[in-house]
A and B are shown apart, each in its own frame.
Chain A
Amino acid sequence: MSSDASQSPEATETSMASAEPLLAFADALLASSECEPGRAAGEIRQYVTFFLRDDEIGIPILQCREIVRALAITRVPEAPDHVRGVVNLRGRVLPAVDTRKCLGYETAPATARSRLLVVDVAGRDFALLVDRVARILKVAVADIAAPPENAKVRTAVGVARDGASMIYLTDAERILRPQPAAEAQPTRSDEA
Chain B
Amino acid sequence: MEELFASLVKDFVDETAPIAQEVGGLLLKLEGAWGTGGDAKPIVRAIRGGLHTIKGNSAMMGLGPIERVAHVLEDVCAQVEPRPSREQTLLIQLLFEGCDLLGVLIQAALAGSVDATSADAFVLRARASMDDATLPKAMPDSVEASPRAEAALAPPSAEPSNVASDDGRGTARIADRDVDDLLELAGETIVGQTQLARMHGRLARGQFEASDIVLMDQLLTELGRTTREIRHKLLRVRLAPIATLFRRFGRFLRDLARERGQVIELVIEGGDTAVDRAIISRLYEPLVHIVRNAVAHGIESADARAACGKPAKAQILLSARMREGRVQVCVADDGRGLDLRAIAAKAAAQGMDTSALSERDIQRLIFQSGLSTAASVSNLAGRGVGLDVVASVVQSLGGTIDVRGASGRGTVFVLDLPVTVSLQKALIFGVDSETFAIPAGFILDTMESREKNMQAINRVLLVSWRGDFVRAVDAGRLLGCQGLAQAWARPYAIILQAGNKRGALLVDWFSGVQEIVVKPLDACLASCRMVAGATVLAQGRVVPILDCVEVVRRTNVALLPESSNEAKVEASYDVF
Contact = CB atoms under 8 A, between A and B. Distances in A.
A79 B529 CA distance: 9
Interface in B437-483: 479-480
Contacts of B360: 10-11
A7 B406 CA distance: 14
Interface stretch (A48-56, A91-99, A129-137): A91-99
Contacts of B414: 5, 8-9
Given A2-B269, A8-B328, A77-B544, 11 more contacts: A1-B317, A1-B333, A4-B332, A9-B401, A12-B402, A78-B531, A79-B527, A88-B542, A90-B400, A124-B522, A176-B524
12 contacts: A1-B334, A5-B412, A9-B416, A74-B544, A77-B528, A79-B525, A79-B527, A83-B525, A91-B326, A91-B416, A91-B536, A95-B521
A86 interface: yes
A79 B412 contact: no
Contact of B530 (A6, A78, A92, A93): A78
B541 A72 contact: yes
A89 B19 CA distance: 40
B429 to A, nearest CB: 14
Nearest to A12: B400
Interface in B526-545: 527-531, 534, 536, 540-544
Given A1-B412, A5-B330, A72-B541, A126 B522 contact: yes
Interface string A53-83: 0000000000000000000101111111001
Contact of B528 (A1, A9, A13, A76): A76
Contacts of A74: 434, 534, 541-544
B190 interface: no
Nearest to A71: B540
A125 B522 CA distance: 8
Interface of A: 1-2, 4-13, 72, 74-80, 83, 85-88, 90-95, 97, 124-126, 176
A21 to B, nearest CB: 21
A86 to B, nearest CB: 5
A12 to B, nearest CB: 6
Interface of B: 267, 269, 315, 317, 319, 323, 326, 328, 330, 332-334, 360, 398-402, 404, 406, 409-410, 412, 414, 416-418, 434, 479-480, 519, 521-525, 527-531, 534, 536, 540-544
B276 to A, nearest CB: 13
A91 B399 contact: yes
A4 B412 contact: yes
Given A9-B400, A75-B434, A94-B522, A2 B319 contact: yes
Contacts of A94: 522
Contacts of B543: 74
A4 to B, nearest CB: 5
A113 B328 CA distance: 30
Contacts of B529: 78
Contacts of A7: 404
Nearest to B315: A1
Given A4-B332, A78-B480, A93 B542 contact: yes
B502 to A, nearest CB: 21
Nearest to A176: B524
B73 to A, nearest CB: 35
B332 A2 contact: yes
A87 B542 contact: yes
B522 A90 contact: no
A9 B328 CA distance: 9
B178 to A, nearest CB: 20
A2 B530 CA distance: 48
A88 B528 contact: no
B434 A1 contact: no
Pick the most buried of A1, A74, A92: most chain B CB atoms within 10 A of its CB: A1
Contacts of A85: 542
Contacts of B315: 1
Nearest to A87: B542
Nearest to A123: B228
Nearest to A178: B524
Contacts of B398: 91-92
Contacts of B524: 80, 83, 95, 97, 126, 176
B528 A79 contact: yes
A86 B399 CA distance: 17
Contacts of A88: 536, 540-542
A86 B319 contact: no
Nearest to B536: A88
